[in-house]
């Protein structure tokens, strides 16, 4: 096997291993960021959290581009950041519920006051309830704020209250963290799925680039080693491919360099264009041929 072929095989093997390791590293990094941002949610304010999420997104773009999918890196990084932010927020909610379950005490209380937030457009008004124990003492902690207006003054409830007064009391059903844990897992899996998808996309794009590079290198080596140009049939086939795949410019023309087709005359190129449904412009820039659906003056065909 030649040195070039051996180097190509080594490159493919390295590339096959590298994206897997890099994708695993990006996935572990995304999970670590979710956990870290959830821990920082109480100590860091919104401006600092926003700055950290921006830095996280920039690092993700740099890492994802190493996987090979440069075109999709920004959108994928944005999706991972959004999924990670939602997961971190749900982790924070689940942590409060778990903390309340661990150190809270179950007591029977009575609703003595109901307060609604001021109306803000069509947004539902949040209800807040003041609770008293059976002995008349106030339940420690903030007011209870259930998801909806469920209770009325005088109603007797069983709640889990925080003895330290840091967390608002909740009913046993509201303090269940199962929903939050499942939601956090779903957002985390979405972020990891995006990493896996972009790793696959980057590997596929790298294979296509390698294939194009290998084809171009083979043609270049053949021309350099033999000193030969492509045959006339090869030039005709390439011109047909160009006319069939290239997009027209703002003037509606496809312009090619005549020097790329030394074995073809302008008349023969006009014939090939006519066979593909295009016309050849008779007059153009020196060294260039122009083709389009309509031309000012059509060139003669061979």
For the chain, the distance separating the N- and C-terminal CA atoms, rounded to the nearest angstrom, is 46
Between CA 47 and CA 43 the distance in angstroms is 12
Higher confidence at residue 294 or residue 208? Answer: 294
| pLDDT attached to residue 83 | 92
The least confident of 134-148, 150-164, 241-255, 278-292 is: 241-255
- Cα separation, 186 vs 180, in Å, equals 10
Assess whether pLDDT exceeds 60 at residue 277.
Answer: yes
SS3 content of the chain, % helix, strand, coil (to 5): 55, 15, 30
Give the whole-angstrom CA distance, residue 261 versus residue 268: 11
Per-residue pLDDT reduced to its tens digit, 105-157: 888 888 888 888 887 777 778 888 888 988 888 888 888 888 777 888 888 98
Q: Predicted confidence band at 228 (pLDDT cuts at 50, 70, 90)? A: low
- Where in the chain are the domains? 3-99+178-206, 105-161, 232-292
169 and 159 Cβ atoms separated by less than 8 Å = yes
DSSP letters spanning 129-150 = EEEEETTSPBPSSSPB--SS--
Residue 150 or residue 207, greater confidence:
150
């Amino acid at each position: 096997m030649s040195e070039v072929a051996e180097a190509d095989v080594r490159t493919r093997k390295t590339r096959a291993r590298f994206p897997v390791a890099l994708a695993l590293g990006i996935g572990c990094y995304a999970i670590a960021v979710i956990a870290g941002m959830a821990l920082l949610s109480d100590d860091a304010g919104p401006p600092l959290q926003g700055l950290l999420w921006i830095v996280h997104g920039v690092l993700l773009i740099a890492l994802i581009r190493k996987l090979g999918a440069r075109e999709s890196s920004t959108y994928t990084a944005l999706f991972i950041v959004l999924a990670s932010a939602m997961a971190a927020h749900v982790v924070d909610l689940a942590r409060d519920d778990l903390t309340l379950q661990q150190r809270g005490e179950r007591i029977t209380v009575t609703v003595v006051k109901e307060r609604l937030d001021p109306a803000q457009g069509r947004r539902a008004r949040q209800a807040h309830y003041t609770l008293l124990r059976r002995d008349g003492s106030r339940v420690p902690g903030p007011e209870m704020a259930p998801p909806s207006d469920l209770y009325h003054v005088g109603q007797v409830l069983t709640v889990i209250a925080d003895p330290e007064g840091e967390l608002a009391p909740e009913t046993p059903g509201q303090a269940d963290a199962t929903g939050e844990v499942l939601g956090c897992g779903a957002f985390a899996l979405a972020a990891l799925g995006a990493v896996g998808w972009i790793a696959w996309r980057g590997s596929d794009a790298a294979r296509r680039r390698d294939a194009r590079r290998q084809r171009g290198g083979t043609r270049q080596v053949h021309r350099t080693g033999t000193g030969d140009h492509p045959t006339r049939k090869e030039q005709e086939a390439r011109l047909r491919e160009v006319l069939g795949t290239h997009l027209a410019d703002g003037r509606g023309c496809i312009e090619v360099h005549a020097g790329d087709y030394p074995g073809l005359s302008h008349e023969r190129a006009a014939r090939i264009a006519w066979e593909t449904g295009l016309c050849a412009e008779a007059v153009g820039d020196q060294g260039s041929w122009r083709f389009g659906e309509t031309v000012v003056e059509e060139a003669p065909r061979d």
